[in-house]
Structure formats: C-alpha cells, structure tokens
Amino acid sequence: MATNSILQLVKGKIRYSDRFEFESYFTQLALRTISNFIPTREFHDKGCDGYSIEEELFFQSYAPEQYRDRETIDKITEEYKKFKKWPNLEKFKSWIFVTKENLTGKPHQRLISLGSGKIRTENWGLDKLLELSSRLRDEELIPIFNLPHVKKFSEEQSIKLWPSSLGGNEELNLDNLATLRYLRDATENQITLVLDLVPFKIDEPDDTTVAKEGHLSVSFNTIGGKIKFADFVSLNKTDEKTFLFDKLNKRHIINLENRRFVVTLKSITLRKIPHVHKALEYKFGIKEE
C-alpha cells in the first residue's frame, strides 16, 4: 500500500500533467491494477486508450490544460461515437472516460446520458486514479510518476518522567501523525504508553468548531469571533490503544495512514535530577518501514 506522502506527490503529478504524461500515467497504473489491460498506440488510437476484455472495460482519456464544459462535452460525444463503431462491441460493459479532474456538472451529465442498457458510461477522475495508486507500493509509484525518493521517518526519542521545567517529556512523536503518551506502570523495568492522534478540526455547521485530540473532544462555540463557551467530553476509553514496553515486549508496530512505524524500547535509565525522586528516562528508537 502506498504511503500518504507519496500519494500527495502523485496527486500533484496527475493534476499538472500534459496530455502525453497523463496517458502514460494512466497506462502504467492500469497495467498494474486492471486484469489483462491492453494499451493502444500513442497516436491514431481511433478513440481507445486501452481496454480489458477480462473486466469488460474500454477506456478513453482526455487531459486538456483546462477543462471547459463545452469542449469537454464535445470530446465525450465525439469519442463515444468512435467507440460505438468498434468491432466486438458486445465484449464491453463499460465505457470509461478518464480525466485528471473529477467531472461534474454538464459534462458529467452528458457522459452518463450516453449510457444504454448494455453499455455503462462512467468517469474515472482524480479520485479514482488516486484509489488505483493506493493499491501499489511506493517503490512502484516512484518510477511511474518520476517522483523523488521520500526519506522514511527515523528518530531516537526519550520519555523523561520529571517536570517539563527541568527538561522532562511524556510523549513520543510519530512524524506528526500521532503521539505515544505516558499512561501508567512506569518502573525501572517497564512503561505503558497510549496512542493519541494529532489534534485535528472537524467542520461543523453555523458557529461551532470541534477539535479532537486523542481521547478528548473540545467544542468551541464562537459568537462574533469570540469564544463563548467550551465543552470537554471524554471519548470512549475502550477505544484506547495501549502498549506495554518491557524486557519481553521491547518492540511494537503501529500502523497509521498507510504508514508503518516500529517503536523499540532501547534502554531505561535512572537519572539524577535535583529534587526529583526516581527520574526515569525511557529511550526509544522509532523507524518507519
């Protein structure tokens, strides 16, 4: 499965591709994700940019610099007429118009209206192409889209159980996707951490904004741009993901947004911190696979 960082690069490549780049991107994706996909020649394709007899799919791509309704509608109509003249038409159940944006409005209405009882017409736009891309590994997508190699996350971090004013810290950062926070059972032999998601906002109607952080929900109601009140609601504790690190369980794997982090407890050290009883430091290695 592709990582989110690579998919974001793929998204940009598709959006800003020219006609020939786009056709190449689609062909390479289709060859890897559609059963027995057969591409056609770059020139004189006679209204076909590939097909699959096994999946009964017929493809035509269209990638202008800018999609204009009238021109897009004319292109759909013209290419569908070419398709209707293909031999062995009964072998296909779907005619798919492939674009680098998601078709909406009148062009999409025109595309759907051309479908008949035997042939379905549909659009594979940016969302569908990203879904196809997500089925592949980063190592496959990088050469298809000529992407730079993205350096995978790798760091050593520590949880230091003493006051933050003295340099203490109670959480590990998983590349800003989530944190592992100290929960309980801190001894010279073990520690238990809980997984928290990084704070994010959810759009709410009217003037209410909800921000969620880990297992805490905070609702702010604003009137005239000022905070009127805030509600703090604890989420279901049964959803907590906890991880015990000790001599027998030094290594845990955490999957986040198609990324895989290996977190390993490397050492537990008793530090001498003034006025702090049992200042324990837990050193971890965090590596993305």
193-244, pLDDT tens digit by residue?
999 986 543 344 444 444 443 434 333 333 333 333 333 333 344 467 999 9
Helix (H, G, I), strand (E, B) or coil at 46: coil
- Identify whether residues 158 and 83 lie together within a single domain: no
pLDDT of residue 208: 40
One domain, residues 132 and 174? no
Tell me which of 29-33, 39-43, 61-65, 127-131 is least confident. Answer: 39-43
In the chain, the number of structural domains is 2
Do 188 and 115 share a domain, yes or no? no
Please give the pLDDT value at position 1.
78
- Look up residue 233 and give its two tokens: 């609601």
Q: Give the separation between CA 181 and CA 166, rounded to whole angstroms.
A: 18
Does the pLDDT at position 56 exceed 90? yes
Residue 186, CA distances (Å) to 39, 132, 161, 227, 247 in order: 60, 45, 9, 38, 13
Q: Would you place residue 116 in the very low, low, confident or very high pLDDT band (cuts 50, 70, 90)?
A: confident
Tokens representing residue 23 in the block? 């056709």
Give me the pLDDT at residue 211, please. Answer: 41
Amino acid identity for residue 267 in this structure: S
Residue 264 and residue 135 in one domain: no
Indicate the average pLDDT of the chain. Answer: 85
Supply the pLDDT for residue 219.
36
User: What are the phi and psi torsion angles at 275 (to 5°)?
Assistant: 65, 15
User: What value does the mean pLDDT take over residues 110-133?
Assistant: 95
Burial class of 116 by CB neighbour count within 10 A (0 to 12, 13 to 18, 19+): exposed
Max mean pLDDT among 16-20, 41-45, 239-243, 253-257 falls in 16-20
The verdict on residue 220 lying in a domain is no
| pLDDT score of 95 more than 80 | yes
Both 166 and 282 in one domain: the answer is yes
For residue 83, give the nearest of 109, 120, 117, 55 by alpha carbon.
120
Angle among Cα 22, 4, 62 to the nearest 5 degrees reads 15
Examine the domain organization and report whether 126 and 194 are in the same domain. no
Rounded mean pLDDT, 255-269: 90
In this prediction, residue 146 carries a pLDDT of: 93
Whether 179 is covered by a domain: the verdict is: yes
* Final residue in a domain of this structure, among 112, 127, 145: 145
Does residue 70 fall inside a structural domain? yes
* pTM for this model (two decimals): 0.60
CB atoms within 10 A of CB 272: 6
- Local confidence band at 42 (pLDDT 50, 70, 90 cut-offs): low
pLDDT value at residue 155: 95
| Structural domain boundaries enclosing 182 | 154-199+238-288
144-168 pLDDT, tens digit each: 999 987 778 899 999 999 999 999 9
Number of helices (H), then strands (E), belonging to the chain: the values are: 6, 16
